[in-house]
Amino acid sequence: MNSHDGSYTYSVLRRAIEAIDHADAPLSLDQLAQTLNMSPAHFQRLFSKWVGVSPKRYQQYLTLDQCKALLDQRHSTLETAHQAGLSGSGRLHDLFLRWEAMSPGEFARQGDTVTINFSWMDSPFGEALIMGTNRGLCGIAFTAETGRSEAFNDMAARWPKAHFMENAASLKQWGEAAFGRSGETPLHLIGAPFQIKVWEALLKIPSGYVTT
pLDDT band at 212 (very low <50, low <70, confident <90, very high): very low
- Report the CATH number that the domain containing residue 30 is assigned in CATH: 1.10.10.60
Q: Does the global pTM surpass 0.75?
A: no
Q: Pick the more confident residue, 62 or 160.
A: 160
Please choose, from the candidates 189, 186, 207, the residue with its C-alpha nearest in 3D space to the C-alpha of residue 65. 189
Q: Which domain holds residue 50?
A: 3-108
User: Out of 86-90, 110-114, 124-128, which region has the weakest mean confidence (pLDDT)?
Assistant: 124-128
Are 138 and 89 a contacting pair, CB within 8 Å? no
User: Out of 4-8, 37-41, 143-147, which region has the weakest mean confidence (pLDDT)?
Assistant: 4-8
Q: Is the pLDDT of residue 51 over 70?
A: yes
Is 208 domain-assigned?
A: no
Q: Is the pLDDT of residue 191 over 60?
A: no
pLDDT of residue 54: 87
pLDDT of residue 142: 85
Is 89 domain-assigned?
A: yes
Report the percent of the chain where pLDDT is more than 90: 44
Please report, for residues 26, 30, 143, the alpha-carbon distance to residue 82 in angstroms, rounded to integers and kept in the order given. Answer: 12, 22, 39
Classify burial at 134, counting beta carbons within 10 Å of its beta carbon; exposed 0-12, middle 13-18, buried 19 or more.
Answer: exposed
Q: Pick the more confident residue, 186 or 52.
A: 52
pLDDT band at 206 (very low <50, low <70, confident <90, very high): low
Answer yes or no: do 14 and 42 share one domain.
Answer: yes
Answer yes or no: do 102 and 21 share one domain.
Answer: yes
Which residues sit opposite 115 in a β-bridge?
163
Structural domain ending residue among the three candidates 108, 127, 146: 108
Answer yes or no: do 103 and 130 share one domain.
Answer: no
Structural domain ending residue among the three candidates 66, 92, 108: 108
Is 88 domain-assigned?
A: yes
Please choose, from the candidates 179, 97, 172, 167, the residue with its C-alpha nearest in 3D space to the C-alpha of residue 138. 97
Q: Is the pLDDT of residue 38 over 50?
A: yes
Answer yes or no: do 131 and 199 share one domain.
Answer: yes
pLDDT of residue 17: 86
Answer yes or no: do 94 and 10 share one domain.
Answer: yes
Classify burial at 203, counting beta carbons within 10 Å of its beta carbon; exposed 0-12, middle 13-18, buried 19 or more.
Answer: middle
pLDDT of residue 70: 96
- Report the CATH number that the domain containing residue 192 is assigned in CATH: 3.30.160.70
Answer yes or no: do 104 and 135 share one domain.
Answer: no
Is 196 domain-assigned?
A: yes
Answer yes or no: do 153 and 132 share one domain.
Answer: yes
Answer yes or no: do 178 and 195 share one domain.
Answer: yes
pLDDT of residue 181: 64
**What integer is the mean pLDDT of 25-34?**
92
Structural domain ending residue among the three candidates 108, 124, 141: 108
Is 211 domain-assigned?
A: no
Provide the number of structural domains found in the chain. Answer: 2
Answer yes or no: do 93 and 133 share one domain.
Answer: no
The DSSP output letter for 113 is T
In our burial notation (b when 16+ CB lie closer than 10 A, e otherwise), range 84-114 reads bebeebeebbebbbebbbbbbbbbbbebeeb
The DSSP output letter for 1 is -
Answer yes or no: do 121 and 87 share one domain.
Answer: no
